[in-house]
């Protein structure tokens, strides 16, 4: 599909009730090409990670038709129509592990270098200093033949935080990821979200702990160990969230 055809398809899908079977089929066919693109990009990231002796986990995902339609319609409702052909996170790769912020930056630079040496352009989004509702990570957006693959780079704390918040959003409304109020749970869930944002801020403070001596392993380990109580707190928040869900369903 040409970019103009994809844009027109997005315009059809962003209007509630206008997502016909034909339009959805076209979207599914278009995503098949994205799946092949994602597999190729994943190979580049895997090759790099295999050369590193770092405790990294790599996963990937492709947005579903439902998720894409919801994204388009959400933007339309806010008065900011989205060009389907320009959405940057349709295909995503996630790299996470017990790394410091400095190592996260190194990983970002190496990934950019790998793709640029193959002739692809890259841009970055640093969500660490200016998080979105507490979400922190570094994103590398790779342009491959006019389409995009988003590579998310997360530290151990950033990844656990994001996974817990994702679960909260699954239960109480996906809109909370964009600052919208929860669809259910009332003040109890609002308090959970506020707690999650505070944990995110504190985790970032700990991750910013400077090495007493450059490259000191002991200070690196101290930085990692200092995060453990907050990581345990995230598990507690998740348990409390499930309790709220249980109370609402009874």
User: pLDDT tier at 213 (50, 70, 90 boundaries)?
Assistant: low
pLDDT of residue 250: 66
Q: What pairing do the DSSP bridges indicate for beta strands 121-126 and 91-97?
A: unpaired
Please classify residue 17 by burial: count the beta carbons closer than 10 Å to its beta carbon, then call 0-12 exposed, 13-18 middle and 19+ buried: exposed
Q: Which one-letter DSSP state was computed for residue 141?
A: E
Q: How many Å apart are CA 146 and CA 120, to the nearest integer? A: 10
pLDDT of residue 218: 64
Please classify residue 130 by burial: count the beta carbons closer than 10 Å to its beta carbon, then call 0-12 exposed, 13-18 middle and 19+ buried: exposed
Give how far Cα 109 sits from Cα of 2, 122, 138, 141, Å. Answer: 32, 10, 11, 12
Sorted by sequence, the CB contacts under 8 Å of residue 234 that are 6+ apart come out as 160, 161, 164, 199
Helix ranges (DSSP H) in the chain:
3-13, 21-51, 65-77, 101-116, 156-172, 186-207, 217-226, 228-249
Of the candidates 133, 104, 101, the one whose C-alpha atom is nearest the C-alpha of residue 198 is: 133
Contact 134, 161 (CB under 8 A): yes
User: pLDDT tier at 246 (50, 70, 90 boundaries)?
Assistant: confident
CA count, 13 A, side-chain hemisphere, 2 = 3
State yes or no: pLDDT of 146 exceeds 90. Answer: no
pLDDT of residue 126: 96
Q: Which one-letter DSSP state was computed for residue 180?
A: P
Lowest mean pLDDT among 90-104, 142-156, 199-213: 199-213
Contact 144, 87 (CB under 8 A): no
Mean pLDDT of 130-157: 94
pLDDT of residue 12: 87
Contact 204, 196 (CB under 8 A): no
pLDDT of residue 217: 59
Mean confidence (pLDDT) of the chain: 89
Contact 64, 116 (CB under 8 A): no
Q: How many Å apart are CA 182 and CA 173, to the nearest integer? A: 6
Q: Give the tens place of pLDDT for each residue, 21-42.
A: 888 899 998 888 888 899 999 9
């Amino acid at each position: 599909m040409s970019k103009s055809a994809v844009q027109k398809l997005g315009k059809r899908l962003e209007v509630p009730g206008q997502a016909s079977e034909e339009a959805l089929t076209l979207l599914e066919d278009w995503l098949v090409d994205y799946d092949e693109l994602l597999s190729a990009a994943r190979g580049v990231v895997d090759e790099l990670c295999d050369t590193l002796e770092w405790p990294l986990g790599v996963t990937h995902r492709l947005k579903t038709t439902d998720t894409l339609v919801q994204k388009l319609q959400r933007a339309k409702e806010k008065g900011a129509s989205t060009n389907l052909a320009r959405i940057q996170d349709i295909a995503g790769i996630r790299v996470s592990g017990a790394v410091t912020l400095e190592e996260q930056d190194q990983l970002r630079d190496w990934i950019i270098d790998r793709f640029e040496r193959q002739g692809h352009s890259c841009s970055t989004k640093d969500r660490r200093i200016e998080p979105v509702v507490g979400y922190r990570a570094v994103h590398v957006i790779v342009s491959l033949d006019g389409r995009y693959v988003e590579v998310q780079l997360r530290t151990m704390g950033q990844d656990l935080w994001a996974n817990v918040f994702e679960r909260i959003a699954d239960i109480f409304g996906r809109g909370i990821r964009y600052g919208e109020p929860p669809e259910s749970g009332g003040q109890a869930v609002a308090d959970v979200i506020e707690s999650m944002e505070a944990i995110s801020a504190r985790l970032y403070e700990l991750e910013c702990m400077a090495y007493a001596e450059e490259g000191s392993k002991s200070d690196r380990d101290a930085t990692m160990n200092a995060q453990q109580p907050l990581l345990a707190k995230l598990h507690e928040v998740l348990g409390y969230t499930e309790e709220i869900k249980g109370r609402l369903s009874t």
